[in-house]
A and B are shown apart, each in its own frame.
Chain A
Amino acid sequence: MSIQQTFYEAMREHGITRRSFLKFCSLTAAGLGMGPEFAGKIAHALETKPRTPVIWLHGLECTCCTESFIRSGHPLAADVILSMISLDYDDTIMAAAGHQAEEILEQTVEKYDGNFILACEGNPPLNEDGMYCIQAGKPYIEKLRHMADHCKAIIAWGSCASWGCVQAAKPNPTRAVPIHKVITDKPIIKVPGCPPIAEVMTGVITYMLTFDRFPELDRQGRPKMFYSQRLHDKCYRRPHFDAGQFVERFDDEGARKGYCLYKVGCKGPTTYNACSTVEWNGGLSWPVKSGHGCLGCAEDNFWDRGSFYSAVTNLNVPGGVEATADKVGAVLAGAAAVGVAAHAAASVISHTKDSNKGDSSHE
């Protein structure tokens, strides 16, 4: 494929009709929360811009991001996105294997130097010189650094690439680190979640390819259009939270009536993601709708925060203290009360002794 080929041409080549193409453009504009005039802009951009290749690397991960991505319920998305972004390399779903596959990386670097997008699923382990993740005979960290040197921008797919996720949880034996800890000279967009929602992934990648830039990011590098609100803010069970109606146990009346899951550990109030609006599997359901609290999988360090089933979770003080603020606090306040009582008793004894001696405590 020549670098001059446009997205539209690439899509037509894959058998997408013009009608489907335009439908896709309008659905994408709606999915990204844009006005109707943006459908035309997206179509125009896709018709005139040379397609940008995407290299999709896999580090330490479970492939759930890819699994989620290829199940995008957004109409046509699976087909259109896959042909549109023309994944030049994704070792999980590409036909090529072995040396043939690795050659594609070098070809892309040569042909599209500084002009391709690097999508990273999973993260590199740094311990033992990176030997916990070997690809094509080399540590993954070397492959990542090499490709990052030549790419235009990086998408950190999922909680692994964005935050570290389970392999970086304590004690992190392989010293797995998120992408932004090792690649510091390229723009990185974080799309956290374990996995991220398919429509969020396709939305982000479509935006980037269409407008040739990142969507607006928040302080932590996540696209605002999908990560600017907590699940709690748009949760359909929110009225039960405000009313004070909670599930106390998973087998109680409140659970049957669909009350708020906050007291059984729902992390919706502290988790930024689009689950409560976009939902999963084409809008079929999402964790809270299925009757279980959110685990907070799109948040940094969510494995190490203690129970998934209590509202107040561990403090994670450096040094290894794992207790809730309420427990530590009760001990502190209790110790203060006991200390005060003991000191008061000692004061009384000391003062009485002084008075008996006729020794004024004032001098």
Chain B
Amino acid sequence: MSSNVASGPHDSANQKAVYVFEAPVRLWHWLHTLSFLVLAVTGYLIANPLPALNGEASDHFLMGNIRMIHFIAAYVFAIGFAVRIYWALVGNRFAREIFYLPFWRGAWWKGLFYELRFYSFLTRKQHKTLGHNPLAQMAMFLFNTLGTVFMIVSGFALYGEGLGTDSWADRLFGWVIPLLGGSEATHNWHNMIMWVMIMFVIIHIYMAVRADIISRESSVSTIIGGWRMFKDDQP
């Protein structure tokens, strides 16, 4: 969205780098990644446990530990997301991008179709992007933001089943279980959305690396250092 570039705090026409992702956003990104990875692996093992162990039950606590790691990672995931929402309110404009879709803006739709054409090799011309391009913003919002919200809400609902009726998790999130069709269906949807998010992660990593190599701006280093660097001076 080149129209936003000039209106931003930095005039990119004369600038090679823009500070895009502030430290809390970068820190959250990596905490989110790490906790999601742990959650996905332990979650898969809860649904499909490892081969049975022998000996006395009191000698082992394998499932118990896997579930404990899942719950700890879930707290990191959820609290991290809550802090990230706070930062969307107080951070720079790029911190807000993943929380909404500006569907009321014609330019955004134009940009979205442009990106679709670009990634289908129908056009060669590349737009310069500071934050997320409309296609990236849409994928990020639908799969990461909404996916994360769903996983946190359904996850705490399931956690509340173990904590018991009238526990804080049951009181806050227990309503989800009848809504999704019962405990078993909630488990299954919690599992399904994990896979949807894994699919997102695969495409997300590919897009980031691809953009870093052949787009006009930096991508992978931006989520590490925060600065968006441009490879040319043209608008």
Contacts and interface: CB of A to CB of B under 8 A. Distances in A.
Contact of B183 (A230, A248, A253, A363): A230
Interface of B: 47-54, 57-64, 66, 119, 121, 124-126, 161-162, 164-165, 174-175, 177-178, 181-185, 187-189, 191-192, 194-196, 198-199, 202-203, 206, 210, 214, 216, 231-232, 234
Interface in A295-351: 296, 299-302, 305, 311-316, 324-326, 328-330, 332-333, 335-337, 339-340, 343-344, 346-347, 350-351
Interface residues of A, number: 64
Contact of A332 (B66, B161, B196): B196
A290 interface: no
A86 interface: no
Interface in A227-276: 228-230, 233, 239-248, 253-254, 259, 262-263, 267, 269-272
Nearest to B44: A326
Across the A-B interface, the 7 shortest Cβ-Cβ residue pairs = A329-B195, A244-B62, A325-B192, A270-B183, A325-B191, A243-B60, A270-B184
Contacts of B53: 243-245
Contacts of A212: none
A362 interface: yes
Interface stretch (A33-41, A171-179, A217-225): A217-225
Contacts of A316: 181, 185
A48 to B, nearest CB: 33
A299 B62 contact: no
B192 A333 contact: no
Contacts of A263: 49, 52
A219 B178 contact: yes
Contacts of A262: 49
A129 interface: no
Contact of B161 (A230, A311, A346, A350): A230
A329 B202 CA distance: 13
10 contacts: A233-B162, A240-B57, A243-B60, A245-B54, A254-B52, A270-B183, A313-B184, A325-B192, A329-B191, A346-B121
A77 B208 CA distance: 69
Nearest to B128: A362
B52 A241 contact: no
Contacts of B195: 325-326, 328-330, 332-333
A326 B48 contact: yes
B184 A305 contact: yes
Contacts of A302: 184
Nearest to A216: B165
A313 B188 contact: yes
B100 to A, nearest CB: 25
A82 B3 CA distance: 80
A343 B185 CA distance: 35
